[in-house]
Amino acid sequence: MTSVSAGVAADRVLAIVNPAAGNGAGQKLSARIARTFRDAGLRVEIERTPAQGEGARLAREAAESGYGLVIAVGGDGTANELANGLVGSRTALALYPIGAGNDLARTLGYPRRRRDVPRFIRTGRRRTMDVGEANGRVFLNAAGVGIDGHVAARVVATVRVVGPALGWLAGALVGIATYEPIPMRVLVDGEMLSGRFLTVVAANGQYFGGGMHVAPQAQLDDGQLDVVLAGDLGRRDSLVALAKLYRGTHVNGVTITSRRARAVEIDLDRPFPSQLDGEVTRVQRLSIRVRPRALEVIAR
């Protein structure tokens, strides 16, 4: 990604905490997070999201009020909400990852140990990244329809019990057992592809689903999305593809293909679960495009 400037210590900083993130870890952290950042040399103001969907409003108001940096204290869903309020502004997004997936943090090079994150943010570089937009909503990692939406719709309760990695894996295994590929009409930069697909994913980042390496070649600042299309795989081939997905070796050029594009249109015969950064909605049509270098972030 393109580097904009080094260091954030001079910025006015707001941390927006999702109290529900990390099975309630956000609520526990909110009382002491200012001290955690102060110990790392960064003065931070704290705001809690009062309800789902309010993060975008709080982030937008922070940008309008002159904050140079907004920290998302939560998971990929929290980062997604805040990005929807910050995109197009000069306010950068940083992450304090405590959620189930934390896939964007993985792509941006954040440390795995939570205690190392405040120093990483203080010393990190401000960079610009692309974002995706699906039916008017911004996404950071990936948007897709098919088995990933089917799995995402069922995985939340599982993640709460066994954690993100096992939760997504268990959800994927159940999904493979219960899901049938559906007819789709997919327009990729003007090229029409029709048939039955296991899934179609437009990836901006490399990971989704708590560490699944869906798009190993994706770059956050190349002005394109990596579109992964999995055809009508049987259950055995789907299980093999799932194992390879974690290693990023699933694209074989035949039943699973990948191409880069700026715009994707997906039409279905009926409404079906779709996921944007792990958040689920039902759609019959998904219109996806890339917005090049639309968001400033703190990254490695």
Place of tokens 């995706």: 132
Q: In whole angstroms, how large is the CA radius of gyration of the chain?
A: 19
Q: Where are the domains of the chain?
A: 2-129, 138-296
User: Which tokens belong to 255?
Assistant: 């039943």
Domains 2-129 and 138-296 share a fold: no
pLDDT digits over 48-85, tens only? 988 888 999 999 999 999 999 999 999 898 999 999 99
**Other Cβ atoms within 10 Å of 170 Cβ, number:** 17
The yes or no reply on domain 138-296 and CATH 2.60.200.40 is yes
For 197, half-sphere exposure in the C-beta direction (CA atoms, 13 angstrom radius) is: 26
Measured distance CA(68)–CA(86) in Å, rounded: 11
Which pLDDT score is estimated for 172? 79
Among 3.30.2130.10, 3.50.50.60, 3.40.50.10330, 3.90.1150.10, what is the CATH number of 2-129? 3.40.50.10330
Which pLDDT score is estimated for 6? 46
Q: What is the largest CA-CA distance in the chain?
A: 56
Listing DSSP states for 178-195 in one string gives H---EEEEEEETTEEEEE
Q: Which of 287, 282, 288, 286 is nearest to 150 (CA)?
A: 282
Measured distance CA(268)–CA(208) in Å, rounded: 23
Low-confidence ranges of the chain (pLDDT < 70): 2-10, 22-27, 155-165
Contact in structure between 104 and 95 (CB atoms under 8 Å): yes
